[in-house]
Amino acid sequence: MAPLQIGLLGATGETGSSIFNGLISSPQASDFHVTALVRPSSLSKPANQALKSHKNVSLRALDLTASHEEITSSLQGIEILISAIGAQEQLSQIQLATAAKAAGVKRFLPCAFITVIPSGGTHLLRD
């Protein structure tokens, strides 16, 4: 059976690195492939390049400010998308979720640096 394709945004950040380490150290790690989705300008950074030293890990550029079509293209082949982006990028997850659906991503786990609040115009991402 082909390995499950997992995309991870923010793999070198505080939350993302914890998720990444959990994935690669899992007893089932051989059952999936992790694609670290990074800013095009950050692909060559040592921290990102170091991710590739692990088995079943690759890097792919993903520009969250790009067009819907470009983001959708970057997500092709990803089955599970995990977002561990920072608080400043929270609103970009709206476009990310739309592109993930268009790319055929089966499951999207957004980062949620937000409080539990009722809907009704009090919090843009919640609404």
Domain ranges of the chain: 4-109
- For the record, the structure tokens of 60 come out as 């792919």
What is the pLDDT tens value at each position of the chain, 127 positions in all? Answer: 789 999 999 999 989 999 999 999 999 999 999 999 999 999 999 999 999 999 999 999 999 999 999 999 999 999 999 999 876 677 678 899 999 999 999 999 988 755 666 666 666 555 5
pTM of whole model > 0.75? yes
Whole-angstrom distance, CA of residue 54 vs CA of residue 102: 29
Q: Which of 74, 70, 44 is nearest to 61 (CA)?
A: 74
Question: Counting Cβ atoms within 10 Å, is residue 60 exposed (0-12), middle (13-18) or buried (19+)?
Answer: middle
Residue 109 CB neighbour total at 10 angstroms: 13
Residue 107 CB neighbour total at 10 angstroms: 11
Which CATH number describes the domain made up of 4-109? 3.40.50.720
